[in-house]
Homo-oligomer: A and B are copies of this chain.
Amino acid sequence: MSSPSSSPAADASASRPPERNTRQRAAVSRALDELDDFVSTQELHRILTERGERVSLATAYRVLQSMADDGRVDVLRAADGEAVYRRCEVSVHHHHLVCRVCGKVVEVQAPAIESWAERIAAENGFTAVEHTVEVFGLCPRCSAERR
């Protein structure tokens, strides 16, 4: 998901120009460190703006994209197609049970999933594994209203 199939740059950071240390990149990186969940570029930009950090939306897009290309952040697609990012190696790992009608969210643990992901990745020779599991459905209340 980081780099779509057709991407010619299969050899990651092979011959890419050096990266400069700018105020904007530092701000994005810092904000990601403080966030546990996935955020869209729009959300991250709003957060930065509210903090008084001046980073243009276009730059936020460019920074997050370059971080994703280097594998410094994980990328997912929200249900509505918006791209959402999260710093890798997150601390407290958990998953979400989300009501697709009212949006209610329940955090759930899944030790079984963790080991499954590790095993299946190993079987296919993958390393530096991360995973995301989202379960959608109708919460008790919305289930009742549908009836």
Contact = CB atoms under 8 A, between A and B. Distances in A.
Chain A binding site: helix, strand, loop or mixed by DSSP?
mixed
Contacts of A130: 100, 135-137
Interface residues of A, number: 60
B81 A77 contact: yes
Nearest to A116: B112
Nearest to A3: B103
Given A79-B1, A80-B4, A130-B136, A120 B102 contact: no
Interface of A: 1-5, 7, 10-12, 14, 68, 71, 74-77, 79-83, 97-103, 105-106, 108, 110, 112-113, 116-117, 120-121, 124-140, 142-143, 145-147
